[in-house]
C-alpha cells in the first residue's frame, strides 16, 4: 500500500491510499480518482516528503494524528454513546420507525447501497456515517 498526498484543480489537498503506484496511475487515467472535498476529477500527486520518525517520537497507535481524525473519533464516540447499533437490520428498522411500526430512537447500522437509496427515495431520513462499525474493524 502507498499513501499519496493529492491536490485537485480547485486547490484542495487530501490523502488517499493505493495498492501501488501503478494502481494510482491506472485509476487516475480512467478518471476514478476524485477530490474527497469537492469531487473534482482533475487530481494530481502533490509534493510530499516521507514521514520518518525515530524512537519515542513515533505517534501512539490508535491515537488521532490530526484534527480531522480527532473530530472523526469524537463523532464516533457521540454516535456510539447516544444511539443503538442495529447492525444489518438498519434499513428495516429505519423503515419501521418511519412508518410508526417501531419506537422512534437514534439508531445506526449497516445497509447495502440499494437499501439506502430506497430509504432516501421513500423519504426516510438517513445519512451515511464516515466510519466503519467496530465489529468490522481490526
Per-residue model confidence as pLDDT tens digits over 25-74: 899 888 888 888 888 889 888 876 666 666 555 666 677 778 888 888 89
Look at residue 56 and tell me if it is in a domain: no
Neighbours of 122 (CB within 10 A): 11
Look at residue 34 and tell me if it is in a domain: yes
Q: Residues 71, 40: one domain?
A: no
Look at residue 61 and tell me if it is in a domain: no
What is the sign of the dihedral through the CA atoms of 33, 39, 40 and 45? negative
107 Cβ neighbours under 8 A, 6+ residues apart:
83, 84, 85, 86, 90, 93, 94, 97
Q: Residues 92, 129: one domain?
A: yes
Neighbours of 7 (CB within 10 A): 18
Residue 34 lies in domain: 2-45
In three-state secondary structure terms, 89 is coil
In three-state secondary structure terms, 70 is helix
Look at residue 30 and tell me if it is in a domain: yes
Least-confidence region, from 13-22, 41-50, 53-62, 118-127: 53-62
Q: Give percent helix, percent strand, percent coil of the chain, each to the nearest 5.
A: 35, 15, 45
Axis-axis angle for helices 113-121, 90-99 (nearest 10): 10
Total structural domains in the chain?
2
If we measure between CA atoms, which residue out of 31, 39, 51 comes closest to residue 12?
39
Q: Residues 40, 77: one domain?
A: no
Q: Look at residue 137 and tell me whether its pLDDT is greater than 60.
A: no
Q: Residues 80, 22: one domain?
A: no
Across the range 11-32, mean pLDDT stands at 88
Q: Residues 22, 79: one domain?
A: no
Using CA atoms, how far apart are residues 24 and 20, in angstroms rounded to an integer?
6
Q: Residues 81, 20: one domain?
A: no
Look at residue 60 and tell me if it is in a domain: no
Looking at per-residue pLDDT, the higher value among 50 and 119 belongs to 119
Q: Residues 83, 33: one domain?
A: no
Mean pLDDT of the chain: 86
Amino acid at each position: 500500500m502507498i499513501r499519496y498526498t493529492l491536490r485537485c484543480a480547485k486547490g484542495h489537498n487530501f490523502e488517499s491510499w493505493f495498492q501501488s503506484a501503478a494502481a494510482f496511475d491506472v485509476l487516475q487515467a480512467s478518471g476514478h480518482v476524485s477530490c474527497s472535498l469537492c469531487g473534482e476529477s482533475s487530481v494530481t500527486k502533490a509534493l510530499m516528503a516521507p514521514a520518518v520518525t525515530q524512537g519515542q517520537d513515533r505517534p501512539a497507535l490508535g491515537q488521532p494524528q490530526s484534527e480531522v481524525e480527532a473530530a472523526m473519533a469524537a463523532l464516533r464516540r457521540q454516535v456510539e454513546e447516544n444511539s443503538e447499533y442495529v447492525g444489518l437490520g438498519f434499513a428495516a428498522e429505519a423503515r419501521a420507525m418511519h412508518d410508526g411500526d417501531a419506537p422512534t430512537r437514534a439508531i445506526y447500522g449497516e445497509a447495502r447501497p440499494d437499501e439506502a437509496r430506497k430509504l432516501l427515495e421513500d423519504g426516510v431520513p438517513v445519512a451515511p456515517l464516515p466510519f466503519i462499525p467496530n465489529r468490522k474493524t481490526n
